[in-house]
Structure 1
Amino acid sequence: MRVDLSLPGRVEAVYADLGPAERHIADLLLQDPLGLATTTTTELAAGSGSSKATVSRFFRRLGFDSFAEARASVRDLRTSGVPIGSRSGRDGLWARHRAAEERNLRRTAEAVPEELLAAVGAVVADARDVLVLGFRNSYPVALHLREQLVQARPRVQLAPLPGQSLAEELAALGPGDVALTVGFRRRPAAFGEVVRACAGTGADVVLLADPGVRRLRLPVTHRLEVPVDGVGAFDSYAAAHTVVCLLAEAVLERRGAAGRERVLRLAARAEELGELEAR
Structure 2
Amino acid sequence: MQHLLLDGATPPKLRTMDLMHQIAEKLPQLGSAEQRLAEYVRTNPHAMAFVSARTLAAQAGVSPATVVRFFPRLGYASYAEAQQQLQSALAAQYEAPHQRLADEARAAHGPQSASLQALEQDLRNLAALSDMLQSPRFAQLLTWLSTCQGRVAVVGGRYSQGPAQLLAAQLSIALPTEFVDPMGAATDRLQDYGAQDLVLCLSVRRYLRSTQQLARWLREQQVRLVALTDDAMAPLALVSDLTLVLPTRGATMFDSYAAFTALGNALVGELSLSRRDAVARRAATREQLDALQHLYPDKQPYGTA
TM-score category, normalised to shorter length: 0.5 to 0.7
User: TM-score scaled to structure 1, two decimals?
Assistant: 0.64
Residue-by-residue CA offset, 1:102-121 (whole Å, 9 max, x unaligned): 22123233345354333212
Q: 1:217 to 1:235 in 2, by over 3 A?
A: closer
User: TM-score scaled to structure 2, two decimals?
Assistant: 0.59
Q: Which residue of 2 aligns with 1:244?
A: 264
Amino acid at match of 1:136: R
> Which whole-Å CA distance do the structure 2 matches of 1:121 and 1:81 have between them?
34
Q: Which residue of 2 aligns with 1:164?
A: 185
Larger Rg: 1
Query: Cα distance, 1:79 vs. partner?
Result: 5.7
Residue-by-residue CA offset, 1:130-151 (whole Å, 9 max, x unaligned): 1110011110111011111112
Gap runs ≥5 in structure 2: 1-86
Q: 1:215 to 1:145 in 2, by over 3 A?
A: closer
Residue 117 of structure 2 contacts residue 251 of structure 2 at CA under 8 Å; is this kept in 1? yes
Q: Quick check: 1:141 aligned with 2:156? A: no
Residue-by-residue CA offset, 1:44-64 (whole Å, 9 max, x unaligned): xxxxxxxxxxxxxxxxxxxxx
Residue 122 of structure 1 contacts residue 251 of structure 1 at CA under 8 Å; is this kept in 2? no
Q: Which residue of 2 aligns with 1:116?
A: 137
Q: Paired residue for 2:175, among 127, 148, 153? A: 153
Q: 1:220 to 1:78 in 2, by over 3 A?
A: closer
Residue-by-residue CA offset, 1:139-177 (whole Å, 9 max, x unaligned): 0111011111112122x22112885152x2332210110
Gap runs ≥5 in structure 1: 1-71
Q: Paired residue for 1:196, among 205, 216, 223? A: 216
> Which whole-Å CA distance do the structure 1 matches of 2:223 and 2:251 have between them?
37
Residue 248 of structure 2 contacts residue 256 of structure 2 at CA under 8 Å; is this kept in 1? yes
Q: 1:163 to 1:89 in 2, by over 3 A?
A: same
Give the alignment of 1:1-279 within 5 angstroms: 76=91, 80-83=95-98, 84-85=100-101, 86-87=104-105, 88-91=107-110, 92-127=113-148, 128-154=150-176, 156-160=177-181, 164=185, 166=187, 168-214=188-234, 217-275=237-295
Residue 173 of structure 1 contacts residue 201 of structure 1 at CA under 8 Å; is this kept in 2? yes
Q: 1:190 to 1:268 in 2, by over 3 A?
A: closer
> Which whole-Å CA distance do the structure 2 matches of 1:129 and 1:214 have between them?
25
Higher mean displacement: 131-140 or 256-265: 256-265
Amino acid at match of 1:130: V
Q: 1:216 to 1:129 in 2, by over 3 A?
A: closer
Residue-by-residue CA offset, 1:160-206 (whole Å, 9 max, x unaligned): 2885152x233221011001101112111343322222222111111
Higher mean displacement: 203-212 or 267-276: 267-276
Residue 182 of structure 2 contacts residue 214 of structure 2 at CA under 8 Å; is this kept in 1? no
Residue 134 of structure 1 contacts residue 183 of structure 1 at CA under 8 Å; is this kept in 2? yes
Report the count of equivalent residues.
Answer: 205
Amino acid at match of 1:90: H
Query: Cα distance, 1:244 vs. partner?
Result: 1.3
> Which whole-Å CA distance do the structure 2 matches of 1:162 and 1:188 have between them?
9
Residue 179 of structure 1 contacts residue 205 of structure 1 at CA under 8 Å; is this kept in 2? yes
